[in-house]
Structure 1
């Protein structure tokens, strides 16, 4: 199990723990994805492209790489999937936004990175500001088919985090 992090919330201490995904987490990550994906698509003006996790996880390869789950005070609050050099999925329960859950998940990956880490964020997605705040930088903007629902065109931004160089 990964180390616990503490986040403040108006004087309350909350414990965030990041651990590997287990099959018992499926219902929680499905609920989290389905709610947060609506926010993601709303910001990009693509609500009509919404598909739930059940409809997309296989084609989009959710379990092709590592999947990590964040628990906030023992409750599944978010998840992230990816490889050492790429974050492919990252979702936080909308009821728990701005409580350190996303930061704990991303930091978990960055702490293990041996080189650059890349991700894509839809144009209009508020998560871009979060990623830039934790050190990701814009690399490129592309327009193509929306991952998970290729019937829709979408614009995405590639962001890259690079480890600090040692002098």
Structure 2
């Protein structure tokens, strides 16, 4: 039996009233990301990291399904800096649609980064034409005691 079709994702600019939902999305999805890559002990909530990690310095848009925000994306002309999807909507096209939305505003070179081990994110980026250009060992932002490897990807058009 096939899953029911997913309604189209509506993308709009972030509004202050979206903040609680963005926190929920980030905090749940970030735990999945850390389980695959670094260490869940490195978790820091969006409320704690949003300003220090520059969430609001970029263009910030949200994706809604049936009036509920299910993901968000922050990007600039040359870089994708945040992309998170609520775990209930993994593999429903929310992340891909938000990524394509950001790409539509990108310049000829557009880069992003994912943590080594976060294969779902890496697979999504590669499927949209991003290529790996570097692996950079370092420490997690905001959790300097935790080593991690960032995979730098670039989309060239």
| TM-score, normalised relative to structure 1 | 0.89
Matched, 1:150 2:144: yes
Counterpart of 2:95 in structure 1 is: 102
- List aligned pairs for 1:26-41, cutoff 5 A: 26-41=19-34
Match of 2:37 among 34, 37, 44: 44
Task: State how far apart, in whole Å, the 2-side matches of 1:64 and 1:55 are.
Answer: 16
Q: 1:13, 1:98 → 2: CA distance?
A: 11
Q: What is the rounded CA distance, in whole Å, between the counterparts of 1:10 and 1:48 in structure 2?
A: 35
Structure 1 alignment gaps of length 5 or more: 1-8
What corresponds to 2:133 in structure 1?
Answer: 139
Match of 1:3 in 2: none
The answer to whether structure 1 residue 65 and structure 2 residue 58 are counterparts is yes
Aligned mate of 1:14, from 7, 22, 26: 7
Change (3 A) 1:42 1:22: same
1:3-33 C-alpha deviation (Å, 9 max, x unpaired) = xxxxxx7342412011111101000100000
- TM-superposed CA distance for 1:130, in Å, is 1.1
Task: Find the aligned partners of 1:31 and 1:11 in 2 and give their Cα distance.
Answer: 25
Q: What's the CA shift for 1:112?
A: 1.6
From 67, 76, 84, give the equivalent of 1:74: 67
Query: After TM superposition, where is structure 1 displaced by more than 3 Å over at least 4 residues in a row?
Result: none
Cα distance in 1, alignment partners of residues 148 and 42 from structure 2: 10
User: What TM-score does the superposition give when structure 2 sets the normalisation length?
Assistant: 0.94
Q: 2:109 aligns with which of 109, 116, 130?
A: 116
The number of equivalent residue pairs is 155
For residue 108 of structure 1, give the secondary structure of its aligned residue in structure 2.
helix
Q: Secondary structure at the match of 2:97?
A: helix
